[in-house]
Structures are given as structure tokens and as C-alpha cells.
Amino acid sequence: MSETAPRNRVAPPKVTLNDVATLAGVDRSVVSRVINSDPNLNIRPQTRQRVLETIDKLGYRPNAAARSLRTSRSFMFGLFIPDFANPVYAEIIKGAEMAAGSLGYGLMTASSGGVRLARHHYVDSLAQGRVDGMLFAGDESGHELEQFRALPLPWVLVNRRVDGSRRYVILDDERGSRLAVEHLIGLGHRRIAHLAGPETADTARRRRAGYMAAMSAAGLPADPRLIAHADYTPAGGTAAMTALMSRDERPTAVLVANVASAVGALHAAHEMGLSVPADVSVIAIHDMSLASHLVPALTTVRMPLSELGRRAIEMIATRAPEDDITEIVTDPVEVILRDSTAPPGPLSR
Amino acid sequence: MSETAPRNRVAPPKVTLNDVATLAGVDRSVVSRVINSDPNLNIRPQTRQRVLETIDKLGYRPNAAARSLRTSRSFMFGLFIPDFANPVYAEIIKGAEMAAGSLGYGLMTASSGGVRLARHHYVDSLAQGRVDGMLFAGDESGHELEQFRALPLPWVLVNRRVDGSRRYVILDDERGSRLAVEHLIGLGHRRIAHLAGPETADTARRRRAGYMAAMSAAGLPADPRLIAHADYTPAGGTAAMTALMSRDERPTAVLVANVASAVGALHAAHEMGLSVPADVSVIAIHDMSLASHLVPALTTVRMPLSELGRRAIEMIATRAPEDDITEIVTDPVEVILRDSTAPPGPLSR
DNA sequence: CTTCTGTAGTCAATCGATTGTTCTCCAGCA
DNA sequence: TGCTGGAGAACAATCGATTGACTACAGAAG
């Protein structure tokens, strides 16, 4: 009988430690110790060789479940994010995956997937031996802290702090904001507004603090009318920008807390007949490829998101569960110059 | 001693089936059967009640490793994607996560994370009992098919076919292209070009086929000079668009195979002093929020990506490993009208 | 010739849950 | 009274790998 199309192969027989041991003529404990390079094992080179060859020949792979039942380690970390569509998290995941990989861990990423209630159960299910630690990225208010505390494994918050938590890894958002403001000041701006994020978001608070610090460091007034809060969405950005630009003594530049809001802010400026950057400069926190496709291309502050992911993994892997983790990622922050910032125009002086 | 800050709680003692059984005064097999609602179990309502209460009181959660060692099922699926930063995959993940959740499965998503070699090992490691099935999304040429075939568990390709594979779930890309071409024809265009994807990509071939079909169905010439191949990137799109628009008898409309290329195409048009849509209309496959922020806002064809993810999960969960899976997701495909398409201008007629 | 020491492994308990089989009552029936 | 049958649970093997304790043997030391 000749086959015309390749058949889908059915499950090959499972090879266990015993099979290898038997074929190699040793005890299975020896095979196990060879695999894990147990220092307590005394073995002749030729025997080790034989074992390795047998493993190879049979295509043996240790069963993860058995191994982790015995050792209560899974060599997996879990990363929870609010939304896969947000490029900020994509970058964090990238860093985390690489770091996990180089530490010999796998990373499983999941989102609450719209179903808010499901998250609780999901976390719960992963906690039962599927992962050795969990990272919670996001910027929610954090009423889940109690759940995290009750977790039978190490965890850490990524990119947010929460009242009462002493386990987090965050970016130096203040510095990002300061850098942005300094950039604007360097261009000659004095009246600089801040289109902030939601007051409930820790990142938003830190970015605002950085803005304030930079302003006062430059001897500029931190006029409360120069600050408007939005919700990290384009629609919110549009509303807040409209408000900001409608006030008398219009700002000549705006630091927007994130790119989504900045999209809305650019939109608002356009609607109001204001030209960017001629009439008003716009700079936003977090660089992403979208920024270069906006019109005008958006000047941003690139934050080390990938390093944030990396650092979070390192922390969870190396710090004892009862230790505090209060890390601020210090890798370089830089302004990515595009077309949305320029010296203040003559009209606005 | 009073504490000023909440202390990080150390791991709570692990509760096992035995603990529950002992406290409830029954055998652990009873507890197990209650949990899994084994139909073979005969139990008095009051005993069941007692067991459930004990589980609750102790906060018992079954150990995933033990359970999956015994049953050789993990109730997890693995999803591999090439890149978290690509919004196309974000949408697929969303659908897959929800579908998995409602089937009682968890989903772990991973990317090859830049490290191409690592992927092989990663897949390998997940295959050893960590997941019950794997989904491979992406559009690579697929020299990994041999690895997949050797996998001791069910797998399926998502959004791509590969020569010789009979396990895939794909979109109706042809229909997407046809719809786009019909939209352009409806606007009055006759000379319609196709900025295609890489010839190695299955999706690109199907989109091109759809373009050809729609053209000949309308009795329009499928002039090979109306087709240019790019690589699904902005840079590639720029180059291909430039080529297309430099030919004599310039097309009045272009169907671009994906949004990334379309970004480049818009750029090229701008550079050449062509106005979109006045001089040339542009439509792209796959809708994403980026499209509405481009200038002009990009008209797209929305494909059912989330349904693709859902369907793939359903297939892997319900189809036998030796069965063929050759699914085309038939959910509605629609044109999302924005500003980049319009009737051909008087100049180009 | 013993005893000791180190080498090269072997033995067997264990991790926690699942599941086919078996046991123990007790009521009902002849 | 003796037997049967079913309800209600208990028993115990099993999944595959890990690891502390133990053994067998050869050569060296005393």
C-alpha cells in the first residue's frame, strides 16, 4: 500500500528513566544523577558515556510532571499582563523571556483576557505547582494584593507599586519625565504642561512627580492649571489636550504621560487648528514603533522596558520569598527625537 | 513588637489530599472523587458536604504536578508566536485564551524570543508533559515540521500551512483579498495593483490568489506588472510601492498584503508627491488600531483573528492526534472604511 | 591477614493524586 | 435464620523522577 500524503504520526511510546537505565545496564538513579550532574555521583567515564548514548538513542526526555512532583520545582515562571495588544508589555515580555531562558527557566505569559473574574482562578491554578514564581505586570489599583500575599510561591509586581507592597520592580519614571521636561526646556520652552495619566496609576503619579521636580529645578512655576489628568487612552488624551490648550496663557509644550494619550492629544491639536510642533510641542513617555508613524512623528522618551522584564525575572529567581524587592531599573533612559518637538514658535513667545 | 510595614508572608504549609481526607475522616480516594465528581462514587450527601467544607477550610488546591503525573494530562495548551509586538498575534492570543478558558484549559503563550535556536529546546521542554497540545502560529517557511511531527502530543499550525502538513487552521485570506478588490472595483478602479507579501509565506500566496481571482472575475487583466512582492515590513512596502508607482500606466489603487507594508507604502506615496487617496487608493489586509492613526487613516479588511485563535484551540482540544485538521475560519470578513480609499481621481482616469 | 578507604554504583522511600478493585455493613427477602 | 445486593467507602497499585542511605569490591595501609 503506498501512501500519497504523509500520515499524522500517532503518539510515540513514552520513554522513561527506567527504560534508559535498563538498556544502559545501570540503575535509574545513575541515569538521573548523570542528567542532573549530581556531584555526589562517582561514575566511570565509559559508563557515563554509555548512559548518555542511551538517552540519545531512545530520545529520552525527563517527564516534567514527575520531576516537579518530586522536587516541587517546575523551572517555569508565570507572567500576567493586562493586555497583549499593548506594545509596552510586548517589550517587557521580550526581556523577561530572554532572562528566564538564560537562567534555565521557561516563561508562560497570560493575560486576564477580558474576563476579570477568571484571573483569580487562573493565578490560583498556576500557583499549584505549575510555576515557581509569578510576575504581575500592569498598572491597576491592586486590590488583588491580598491574593498575592496568600500565594504559596514568590511573586513580584512589575511596573507598579501598590500600597503596602514591598515586592516590586519599576522603571525610573520620574527620571523619564525629567528628561522630557529638560529636553523641552533646552528647546526654549518655559510654559510646559503635563497631560498626566490616571491618578490611580502608580506610573502616572511617578511621571507627574518627575515633571514637577524638573519644573521646579528649572525655577519654573508648577502651575496646577498646567496639569490635566487623562486615562491613558486616545479619547482621554483628546479631552485633556483640548482642556489644556483652551486655557489662557496656552502652554507651548506638553509632556504626555503615554503614547496612547499622545495619539489623542495630536488629534485634539489638529482639531483645534494648532500645528505640532509649530504651535505646541508634544513629547510622550515610552517609545514604540507606532510613534514614528504618527503625523507628526512623535518625539518620545525611551524607557528600558525590556530591562524591566529582565530584572523582574532575575529578582524572582534569586531573591528569597520573604525578602523585600524594591528595585528601580536604572538602565539608560533617552529622548528619541522625532518631529513633534521644536523650539517655541515666535507667535507663542 | 509592633510592625510598621506588612511582612512578606513565607510560604504557607502545603495542604494535600491526605490532610483533607484525615480531617474529614474519609479516605483520600473519596476526596479525590468528590473533587472530580466521579460518577462511580456513591456517597451520602452529608459526607460530601463534610469533604467540601474541609477542602474549603484548609484551602486545599490539587497539586498540578501530581495530578498530571498520574493522568498524563495537564489541562494546558501551549501557543508559540514569532513576536509579541505584532498586533496580529495579540488578537489571536485573545481568542485562544478565551476559548481555552471556557474549555477548562489554561494557555501558555511563548515566543521564540529572538533566540531562534532556543525555540527548539523550548518546544521540546513543553512537550514533556507540561502541555496537552501545542499551537504554532506564524508564517515562517516551516522547516520545523519534522520536529512537530515527532512531538508526543497533538499540535496544529495557526494561520499558515506548510507543505505536507495536514494539521492547520487558517483564515480565508483569499476572501479577504477578494473583498478588498471588490471594494476598489466598486469605487470605480480598474487598474488595481497588488503589493504582495513574501512568496515564501503561505498567507501571502493566498492573498495574492484572492487578488487574482477577484481581478479575473471582474474581467480585469491580471497584468504581472501590477504585482510587486515585499517582505511584510515598512521598508519593503516603501520599495515595492515605489516600484509599482514608477511603472507606466500607474495603478489607481493598491491592495497591500499587510499593514506593516502599507505603512511603508503610504510613506512612499508621500515621498513621490502622490496624494492618497486622490492619486492612489490604498487598502490593506488585517485591521488594527494603528491603521486609524496613520495619515491618511488606512482602510483595511478586518479578518477574524480572534476567531482563528478560538477555532485553533477547539481543534486541538477535540480532534484526535492522528486526524487531519484542515480548517478555514469562515467568520465574517469586512472592509473597515477609512480615508485611504476613494474613487479614482479625474487625473488618473 | 585484617582493616580501612575510596570508587562505583544500587536500594528504596518519597512526592500527591487517581482509579480499578475490594470490603463492610445493613436492609430486604425467602 | 441465612442469603443477596447495593450503598458507602476503604485499599493499594501506579504515574516517573529524585536522593539519602547503603553495599560490593579493589587496592592500600598497618
**B122 CB near a chain A CB, below 8 Å?**
yes
Above 90 in pLDDT, residue B145?
no
Q: Is the shortest CB-to-strand distance from B47 to strand D under 7 Å?
A: yes
- Phi and psi for A70 in degrees, rounded to 5? -70, -45
Strand order in the sheet with B106-111: A325-329, A167-171, A155-158, A133-137, A76-81, A106-111, B106-111, B76-81, B133-137, B155-158, B167-171, B325-329
B141 — pLDDT class (breaks 50, 70, 90): low
DSSP B41-100: ----HHHHHHHHHHHHHHT----HHHHHHHHS--SEEEEEES-TT-HHHHHHHHHHHHHH
List chain C nucleotides near protein: any atom < 7 Å from a Cβ. 7-12, 14-21
Task: Please name the nucleotide lying closest to B19, CA to C1'.
Answer: C16
Q: Which residues pair with B281 in a beta bridge?
A: B253
* Digitized pLDDT (tens) for each residue of chain A, 349 residues in all: 444 455 565 666 789 999 999 999 999 999 999 999 999 999 999 999 999 999 999 999 999 999 999 999 999 999 999 899 999 999 999 999 999 989 989 898 988 655 555 677 778 888 888 999 999 998 765 667 778 888 889 999 999 998 778 899 999 999 999 999 999 999 999 999 999 999 999 999 999 999 999 999 999 988 999 999 999 999 999 999 999 999 989 999 999 999 999 999 999 999 999 999 999 999 999 999 999 999 999 999 999 999 999 999 999 999 998 899 999 999 999 999 999 999 998 755 4
Q: What is the pLDDT of residue A113?
A: 54
Q: Name, in order, each residue with C-beta under 8 angstroms of A95's C-beta and a sequence gap of 6 or more.
A: A305, A306, A307, A308, A309, A310, A311, A313
Above 60 in pLDDT, residue B137?
yes
Task: Please name the nucleotide lying closest to B70, CA to C1'.
Answer: D15
DSSP B228-261: EE--SSHHHHHHHHHHHHHSSS--SEEEESSHHH
Cα distance between residue A69 and residue A129, in whole Å: 8
Q: What is the pLDDT of residue A349?
A: 43
Q: What is the pLDDT of residue A25?
A: 96
Q: Lowest mean pLDDT of A297-311, B13-27, B100-114, B311-325, name the range.
A: B100-114
Cα distance between residue B184 and residue B195, in whole Å: 14
Whole-structure pTM value:
0.92
**Closest Cα in chain A to B118:** A101
Q: What is the mean pLDDT of residues B230-252?
A: 96
**B4 CB near a chain A CB, below 8 Å?**
no
Q: What is the pLDDT of residue A117?
A: 52
* 3-state SS track over A17-77: HHHHHHHHCCCHHHHHHHHCCCCCCCCCHHHHHHHHHHHHHHCCCCCHHHHHHHHCCCCEE
B59–chain A nearest CA distance, Å: 10
Q: Looking at the C1' of nucleotide D7, which residue has the nearest alpha carbon? A: B42
Interchain pair B85, A61: CB under 8 A: no
Question: Which of B113, B112, B142 is CA-nearest to residue B124?
Answer: B112
Q: Looking at the C1' of nucleotide D16, which residue has the nearest alpha carbon? A: A66
Cα distance between residue B308 and residue B313, in whole Å: 9
Residue type, A178: R
Above 60 in pLDDT, residue B1?
no
Percent of chain B with pLDDT over 70: 93
By CB atoms closer than 10 A (0-12, 13-18, 19+), residue B185 is middle
Pick from B84, B87, B167: which is nearest to A8 by CB?
A: B167
Q: Cell numbers 499550525 label which residue?
A: B157
Q: What is the mean pLDDT of residues B127-145?
A: 83
DSSP A219: T
Secondary structure of residue B108 in the 3-state scheme: strand
Interchain pair A113, B94: CB under 8 A: yes
C-alpha cell at B52: 467540601
C-alpha cell at B270: 508621500
Q: Cell numbers 501590477 label which residue?
A: B226
Task: Please name the nucleotide lying closest to B67, CA to C1'.
Answer: C17
Percent of chain B with pLDDT over 90: 79
Beta carbons of A158 and A135 less than 8 angstroms apart: yes
C-alpha cell at B330: 469562515
Q: What is the pLDDT of residue A120?
A: 75
Q: Is the shortest CB-to-strand distance from A209 to strand C under 7 Å?
A: no
Q: Is the dihedral of CA B248, B249, B252, B257 positive or negative?
A: negative
Cα distance between residue A339 and residue B104, in whole Å: 49
Higher pLDDT, B166 or B272: B272
By CB atoms closer than 10 A (0-12, 13-18, 19+), residue A46 is exposed
C-alpha cell at B268: 512612499
Q: What is the pLDDT of residue B2?
A: 42
Q: What is the mean pLDDT of residues B99-108?
A: 91
Q: For residue A215, count other CB atoms closer than 10 A to its CB.
A: 22
Q: How far is the CA of A23 from the C1' of C3 (A)?
A: 37
Q: Which residues pair with A336 in a beta bridge?
A: A300
Put residue A273 in one of left, alpha, beta given phi > 0 → left and psi -120 to 50 → alpha: left
Q: What is the pLDDT of residues A161-183, one digit of tens each?
A: 987 788 999 999 999 999 999 99
- Go through A303-335 and write b for each residue having 16 or more CB atoms within 10 A of its CB, e for each that does not: bbbbbbbbbbbbbbbebebeeebebebeeebeb
